[in-house]
Amino acid sequence: MHKHEIPATMRLSLLLVVVAALSARTAAQLPLAGGGGGALKPDFYSQSCPRAERIIAEVMQTKQMANPTTAAGLLRVFFHDCFVSGCDASVLIASTQFQKSEHDAEINHSLPGDAFDAVVRAKLALELECPGVVSCADILALASGVLITMTGGPRYPVPLGRRDSLSSSPTAPDVELPHANFTVDRLIQMFGAKGFTVQELVALSGAHTLGFSHCKEFADRLYNFRNQGGKPEQFDPSMNPSYARGLQDVCRDYLKDPTIAAFNDIMTPGKFDNMYFVNLERGLGLLSTDEELWTDPRTKPLVQLYASNATAFFDDFGRAMEKLSLFGVKTGADGEVRRRCDAYNSGPAVAATIPKM
């Protein structure tokens, strides 16, 4: 045997080591079961589409300047996307005659068109620059980050490489998302089941520093209100009386005109700041879920902290948003990079519904 030659037994074990190393690498590149987001990285597009973030920022800036409600709308769309089957752009799939999507869920009917329009514009610009490369799920994640910063909020890291969903359920959103009449118990349970702490629930609720809610979401606090003993009251007594009367006036005709809405943060509605928490202390919370964060002993200390310390809120909100953006993400064969954000690349699955000739 030549002195540099490796004995047969050793060759075999070396081969096994190499095979093991190779399969470990493949495993790391495979889709993550449960989608922990471990395979995502900030520079995912540095070679394939280096200007992606710049392009998204520019499109969002133009859109937000023309329609200042875009930031709030897009942030809510992102939350509704992530909490239902993970951050995978399943919320963007349009309903077709043959196949319903998350758009059809009651809770998603109020998602604003401007947010979807912003994504369409970003996708168009990206497809011109680097076709088929940037996923719609990454567009949503990056756009949310950019718009939060643009309206005065914190900047936080957005790891990239999400793939877009291959399905979109019309029933899941009403089950998976929180409703305005939930108790704090139920909120804590729902967020907890998805791995979010009480502190993250309170920090993320601070997103209600932006945007508005339609009257139907809080009308039961204003009209025919009954206290816990069943006694009628003029309005929910946890509300500041002038605020409650003002809202009664604004929402007077909401049944005839369901588009009437009020700002979530009455003091600084277009600015991302900690005023939402200051409002809660003063009885100026709009939704009962908002106000309850102030009454419940598990959440009240956090409301107090964020009301008095904007930096603590920004730090915790940024961290919680980064975590939200990694929730249930799809990589590898679990998803695809859609060519357009409102349809699967294969087109709508019609085969099962085409009637037999």
Q: Does the annotation place 332 within a ligand binding site?
A: no
Question: Is residue 210 near ligand HEM by the rule CB under 6 A?
Answer: yes
DSSP 209: G
Query: Each residue of 65-93: b (16+ CB within 10 Å) or e?
Result: eebebbbbbbbbbbbbbbbbbbbbbbbbb
Site string for ligand HEM, 166-185 (x = CB under 6 A): ------------xxx-x---
For residue 2, indicate whether it is catalytic.
no
C-alpha distances in Å from residue 203, one per residue of 55, 74, 276, 305: 29, 18, 11, 10
Question: Is residue 76 near ligand HEM by the rule CB under 6 A?
Answer: yes
Candidates 72, 126, 146, 262; binder of ligand HEM (CB under 6 A) is 72
Nearest-approach distance from CB 217 to ligand HEM, in angstroms = 4
Please, which residue, 217 or 334, has the CB nearer to ligand HEM?
217
Q: 225: which strand partners?
A: 233
- Strand (E) or helix (H) holding 187: helix 184-193
Nearest partner of 212 among 322, 290, 299, judged by Cα = 290
Question: Is residue 91 near ligand HEM by the rule CB under 6 A?
Answer: no
Question: Is residue 272 near ligand HEM by the rule CB under 6 A?
Answer: no
DSSP assignment of 315-331 equals: HHHHHHHHHHHTTT-B-
Question: Is residue 327 near ligand HEM by the rule CB under 6 A?
Answer: no
Nearest-approach distance from CB 129 to ligand HEM, in angstroms = 29
Q: Is 272 helix (H, G, I), strand (E, B) or coil?
A: coil
Q: Does the annotation place 85 within a ligand binding site?
A: no
**Could you list the active site residues?**
80
Q: Residues at the annotated binding site for heme b? A: 208
- Provide the binding-site residues for ligand HEM, judged by CB under 6 A: 69, 72-73, 75-76, 79, 110, 112, 178-180, 182, 187, 204-205, 207-208, 210-214, 217, 264, 287, 289
